[in-house]
Amino acid sequence: MRAVTAETTRREYLRGVAHNNELGLYETVRRNSDFFVGRQWEGVNAGDLPKPVFNFIKRSVVYAVQSLSASSLRMTASFPGGEEAKLSDAVTREFDSIFEQNNLVTGFADFLRNAAVHGDACMTARWDADAANSRGGRGAIVAELVDNDRVFFGSPASADVEDQPYIIISRREMIGKARSVGAKNGVPPDAILPDEDAAELPRELRDDDARVTVLLRFWKSEETKTVWCCECCRDVMLRKPWDTGLTRYPLIWLPWDDMRDSYHGQALVTALIPNQIFVNKLFAMSMLSLISMAHPKIVYDRTRIAKWDNRAGAAIPMLGGDVGSVARVIEPAHLSPQVAQFIDLTISYSQTLMGATPAALGEVRPDNSSAIVALQKASALPNELTRQRLYRCVEDFGRILIDMQSEYYGKCSFDGETVDFTRLKSLGASLRLDVGSAAYWSEYAMVATLDNLLTQGRIDFVEYLERLPDAHLPGKKALLEKARAAKEL
């Protein structure tokens, strides 16, 4: 295997940039992001044409993301035969702590949002030796989202992370920070030069405010069977290759829709943009038509009336002749009702085909909760493949966490007992992912079921209150205590 240098890493990075340019990735990400946030007339030379924005794309994407996201995530670890109960409990508690410290419930929602808008989503995990952990010491696992146009796979025809010969992650940093990292590793500050675009900055700002592109390269060593890493800036190695000790690449990757022979996927927004443009154009032309033609126009004979007085109740003088032939009103043209029909059909079909039905969006009356739940489950089917890929990514992230715990945690104290996390290297842990539903109607159906059980006498009032969500009954705790006291009498 050839040696990894700053020069070879930069060539691989430039090769990845060229591949993304061939796919039009950077323009796609920019355009999709603009349409999602509502900047839908950027770069359009429309002159005096009204520029309305009726952004159904954002509502559709938010629905899709929220329908796939979870209000709670919990991962548990177990070992074959049910052994190592103390270790499995410690690993599970660390999962809870990492998910809480990194706010991963919201993080995975943002992860999905990136996939829907950009086409792919990436989340990395890194070990921060200076960060405070839940055990009262230093050293914690930090999760971060990375944009898909800053991740470069060594084999761009495959989206399988573990099958990659190498993975490069680029980031833009202030040159001062890059030089401080290099100084810790014996790199002279003058060896780290700003990127080419820094030439546009004034001379006095180039050394402080200029930015540089820093490349982080991961690869698996055939000798050690572990993941190695290096950090470089242009042709300078900021941190020489080191052995991370990990057996898995510390990142997960999610394409929204798989594309053949490409690690980049198809974004949800990309398919909706033509429909959004059509709706915006029809609205713009309808507005212009109303502004120009909605009000009646007066045509009068200038040879008989010098000036038309449009004030209410004003008298208009005329020089002889028949009054009936002096002026007339031109009725405005009527706007075709098909315009409004096609606008409604375009928005409706666009949302329905991706599962955003009226029942899913909460636009139906809640008369029959069972039917609504059934309709919601049916409407979620278009995104079911993406949901399964998301759960697989979360489980892969759990395997990464176990890999990092086995390498960096060592021996830790839990409830006065010492737990040796290095034993995870020799044990095959299995993971279980518990996902809580985020859908409002799922909670509504649960309350309706509890109501029926109470009405039928299957459960008593105390059991009913114990299972009722707190948000549905203010003061529930005091009422529950009173009901328990009455039950004991």
For 169-187, the pLDDT digits (tens) are 999 988 888 888 888 888 8
What average pLDDT is seen over the chain? 82
Q: Which helix (H) or strand (E) holds 348?
A: helix 337-353
Q: Which residue has the tokens 């929204």?
A: 256
Whether the Cβ atoms of residue 354 and residue 266 lie closer than 8 Å to each other:
no
Between 314 and 388, the more confident residue is 388
| Residues 397-442 pLDDT 10s | 999 999 999 899 888 887 778 888 888 887 766 767 665 544 444 5
The pTM assigned to this predicted structure is: 0.76
Tokens 């507005």 correspond to 287
State residue 410's pLDDT score: 87
Tokens 């061939």 map to which residue? Answer: 22
> What's the pLDDT score for residue 462?
87
Nearest to 143 by CA among 455, 400, 444, 462: 400
Phi, psi of 210, deg, nearest 5: -70, 155
Q: How confident is the model at residue 66 (pLDDT cuts 50, 70, 90)?
A: confident
Distance in angstroms (rounded) separating the CA atoms of residues 141 and 122:
16
Q: pLDDT confidence of 381, banded at 50, 70, 90?
A: low
pLDDT category of residue 132 using cuts at 50, 70 and 90: confident
Q: How confident is the model at residue 46 (pLDDT cuts 50, 70, 90)?
A: confident
| Mean pLDDT along residues 444-455 | 78
316-330 mean pLDDT: 71
Token pair recorded at residue 472: 């549905």
Query: What does the pLDDT average to over 120-127?
Result: 95
Give the pLDDT confidence score for residue 126 in this predicted structure.
Answer: 93
Tell me what the mean pLDDT of segment 237-248 comes to. Answer: 92
For CA atoms 203, 208, 213, 217, give the dihedral sign.
positive
Contact (CB, 8 A) for 236 and 191 = yes
d(CA 193, CA 201): 14
The candidate with the shortest Cα–Cα distance to 468, out of 488, 449, 482, is 449
Whether residue 198 has pLDDT greater than 50: no
Mean predicted confidence (pLDDT) in 142-150? 95
The highest-confidence range among 44-58, 354-368, 416-430, by mean pLDDT, is 44-58
The CB density around residue 172, as the number of other CB atoms within 10 Å, is: 11
Of residues 438 and 51, more confidently modeled: 51
Percent of the chain residues past pLDDT 90, beyond the cut: 31
